[in-house]
Chains A and B, each alone.
Chain A
Amino acid sequence: MAIEDDVLVIGGGLAGATAALAAAEEGAQVRLVSYKQSTLRHASGLIDVLGYTPAGEGPLVDPFDALEGLPDGHPYERVGSEAVREALEFFDDIAGDAYDGAHTDANALVPTHGGTVKPTARYPASTAEGLASDDRDTLLVGFETLPDFEAPLAAAHLEAAGAPFAARGVTVRFPGLVRDDAKVTRYAHLLDHDEAVTTAAGETTARDALAETVRGHLEDETRVGFPAILGDDHAAEVRADLGDRLGVDVFEVPMGPPSLPGMRLEDLLYDALQEAGVRVTTGVPVVDYETDGDATRIDRVVVDRHGAEVPHRADQYVLATGGLVGKGVESERERVFEPIFDCHVPHASDRYEWFVDDVFGDQPYARFGLPVDRELRPLDAGDEPEFSNLRAAGAVLGGYDFAAEKSGSGVSLATGYVAGRRAGAEGGE
């Protein structure tokens, strides 16, 4: 016996979760298998669609304007701009109040922890009060024990970048923490549970103590930005509480990994998966596959459970294992490959052509990934589908540079949505 479902999605990030949800909406019985925890914990939590064109033009005001001009083989070109819109609507339904930005096609400009601004299509509600297009003066608060966010430097950067407001940064000691290298989850937990803390002024609670610490630094700013550590399970409550105590609007500045907004997005998606009846299996890798006589159709995949090999069978498969970071695409000295199905990954045979010397230049390796047809089926070297019942989504796809284009989440959403929809429709038959 194998463990059986209609659709099997391999990979648990934004693309995999979206594919699983879209397939479930088609009425299919869906399973999502994810090896390690998704790299959503590395993600900013921002849902960008396209911030810059592949030629480097931008920041773009309206990403949809630019979608039509993308080169052949770009994932957006494969699925078409209408699918991008549908995928965003699909996301908006899942996210509900947790995300803003659905009211307009235009990109929002969200300040980052380095003081740059990122063009993005949807942003967590926690960052809403901080948008760079808003002209209210801003106080940024950093913590001595959190070196990833240097508030005075970020404020100076914002001003230098031409933000239409005055920005000031201060660095304070986070009350109640004794470790210099406490984990971001420790900060969040203290605020979530409003734990008792001891400060110079005596015993109080974490939220009170933090508001008290910041109050003295506040001049005429009407909004205050903190690094994104303001709670995990009760983030909205923490933010509102701090705002009430300080009498200003409070927002979060997205941080580098590990990122709480990324974790909250992960929770949001996994709650939706549970709600949709998707079966989720985590902690174990898919290591192999078998075809059923006909070599163009995947019959089953093999999941390795610490040595025991557990067969999983489905009618349709979606590969959403990520790119070089998520290890959906891997490289050795002589080759670049996709480790589960060994799908074709185009790359130069000479590895010195995989990169250019300018670190920030147009790096060929950034576009490594699977070429696909308009159904998102991976193509072999002869441009024929590798398998009739395998589709790919997200960063495992080639032909785009998400870091330069700021298009990672949008591509994951759009391709996950399309791959999931099609797999669900065919698998549920």
Chain B
Amino acid sequence: MSDAEQPTDDGVPGDDEFEPIQVFPEAEDMDLRPGADDCYKCSTCDTNCPVAEVDDEFPGPKFQGPEQWRLKRQDDQDIDDSVMKCSNCMRCDSACPSDVPLSQMHNTARGEYVEEQMDKFSREYVRNRILANYRRLAPLGSMFPRTTNFVMGLSATQWLGEKVLGITGEREFPEFATETFREWWTKRGGAQVQNEDKRIAYFHGCYSNYNTPEVGKALVRVYEELGYEIMVPDQHCSGTPMFANGMLEDARRSAETNVRELGAAIEDGADIVASCSSCSMSLRQEYPELFDFEGTEAVAANTWDAVEYLRVHEDLEGELEGTSVGDEFENFAYHAPCHARNQGLDGQTMEVLAPIDGVEARDVGDSCSGISGTYGWKAENYETSMKIGDEMFDHMEEADAETGLTECPTCSMQMEHGTGYEITHTLEVLEAALVGSTEADSQ
């Protein structure tokens, strides 16, 4: 028996249920040692990191993950502040041939850094907290959407944002919709199809609620067309921007609400579907990695991407065969978001749109858009974010299309910002094909 297998804690005599994890005194905390030990330093993750490719300051995922995890086990070792330069694209996860939980390590390291090393009165902390908690501010903005859009669009506001908060003045704030998705849902009287056997609960997330309700409406129309009863449970932010900013306590509170509400929907016979790839990523992977509320695993196992769900539960290809759409959906430059790629959804949109008449979509390749949620909104990251995005902008411009297509709200901001193209969501194209856009407009 090697030393590593010797139980050093006070094993009760006769208790032969030995778990190797008990050897380490910190076993009550998250113990990532087995994952760290799986790293054999092949550095494949480093070659996938879009930040390390353009930013000299960033030491890469191998350092941020297993190496830093080992270092910080020493009492006198602080978390390296470069961890805040990780954009949480999670590409390193699917790069690793050895299943090292890299993004989980980054999330925990970032959480610890913010908790223990960041000055809570600093501009950076306040700014990050605001960006991470977009969900808390959005209701205020959307109460008077036109005023907010006007004020946020003022150059003085942008200048102030940059000078006071470090939010880049280069970007335009996303507009608030004049009616949120939930307002629309309530006004139409909720679900219009009742069906005990086919029931889904929609996790709309913040963005399609406050900013792009047309995506949520498209989902509702497509699913109802196919006979589904839709529930829209109470929900909070998925937590993605909080993980990326190390605000793990905020994320925990949001996750608690979501797991409780979505868990109740599962009890009612529903599966969960999300229209945003970062939201589904969060519920499926990050929740079980970081939290252990009752029901976390059940929520993860029953959460789907909205299009993926239809592919598996319906004959979507058959439904779409021979349908057509108007010329506003003729040509697309498609970008697969990192968080869709990590869920094995990278080829999905191209496949699903293929049988629709008149739609030409071109995949612009596997580059990262570079914005990574709140990352590209920070003044100090703006340049890095645009450098990462360069390849995607080039490929979008090379493609024979002037409309972009993607499933991630912040990727679409970046695509629009870098090329000036209008950006559509896959669900909106499906809506046009299956339901018809004119009919949808009058509904």
| Chain A residues within 8 Å of B, Cβ to Cβ | 1-3, 33, 36-37, 39, 41-42, 177-179, 181-186, 189, 193, 233, 257-258, 263, 274, 279-284, 303, 305-308, 310-311, 325-327
Bound Cα distance A2, B288 (Å): 26
Q: Which residues of A contact B303 (CB under 8 A)?
A: 307-308
Contact for A185 among B52, B302, B341, CB less than 8 A: B52
Which of the four size classes fits the interface of chain B?
A: 35 or more
The answer, yes or no, to whether B53 is at the interface (CB within 8 Å) is yes
**Given A1-B315, A325-B97 in contact, is the A183-B44 Cβ separation under 8 Å?**
no
Q: Which residues of B contact A178 (CB under 8 A)?
A: 56
Q: Mark B164-202, 1 if CB is under 8 A from A, else 0.
A: 000000000000000000000000000000000000000
B15 to chain A, nearest CB (A): 23
Bound Cα distance A193, B346 (Å): 26
The interface stretch among B242-250, B306-314, B375-383, B433-441 is: B306-314
Bound Cα distance A177, B54 (Å): 11
The answer, yes or no, to whether B48 is at the interface (CB within 8 Å) is yes
CB contacts between A and B, total, < 8 Å: 116
A257 in contact with B284 (CB, 8 Å): no
Q: Which residues of A contact B57 (CB under 8 A)?
A: 179
The answer, yes or no, to whether B357 is at the interface (CB within 8 Å) is no
B47 in contact with A41 (CB, 8 Å): yes
A143 to chain B, nearest CB (A): 15
Q: Which residues of A contact B391 (CB under 8 A)?
A: 233
B312 in contact with A3 (CB, 8 Å): yes
Bound Cα distance A276, B42 (Å): 31
B297 in contact with A306 (CB, 8 Å): no
Contact for A274 among B96, B285, B313, B363, CB less than 8 A: B363
Q: Which residues of B contact A179 (CB under 8 A)?
A: 56-57, 59
| Chain B residues within 8 Å of A, Cβ to Cβ | 42-44, 46-49, 52-54, 56-57, 59-60, 94-99, 281, 284-285, 288, 297, 300-304, 308, 311-315, 341-344, 346-347, 351, 363, 390-391
Contact for B97 among A37, A193, A263, CB less than 8 A: A37
A310 in contact with B312 (CB, 8 Å): yes
A280 in contact with B44 (CB, 8 Å): no
A280 in contact with B347 (CB, 8 Å): yes
A301 to chain B, nearest CB (A): 13
Bound Cα distance A310, B303 (Å): 12
A390 to chain B, nearest CB (A): 21
Given contacts A36-B94, A185-B49, 19 further A-B contacts (CB under 8 A): A1-B312, A3-B312, A33-B344, A41-B42, A183-B47, A186-B56, A257-B42, A257-B44, A280-B346, A280-B347, A282-B341, A283-B343, A283-B346, A284-B344, A306-B281, A306-B284, A307-B284, A307-B302, A308-B304
Bound Cα distance A281, B305 (Å): 15
**Given A3-B311, A37-B44, A189-B54 in contact, is the A305-B96 Cβ separation under 8 Å?**
no
Q: Which residues of A contact B43 (CB under 8 A)?
A: 183, 257-258
Nearest B residue to A327, CB-CB: B97
**Given A263-B47, A308-B301 in contact, is the A183-B346 Cβ separation under 8 Å?**
no
List the 6 shortest-distance A-B pairs measured between CB atoms, nearest first. Answer: A284-B344, A306-B284, A307-B301, A283-B94, A307-B300, A258-B47
Bound Cα distance A160, B11 (Å): 60
A53 to chain B, nearest CB (A): 29
Q: Which residues of B contact A305 (CB under 8 A)?
A: 284, 308, 343-344
Bound Cα distance A72, B112 (Å): 58
B368 to chain A, nearest CB (A): 12
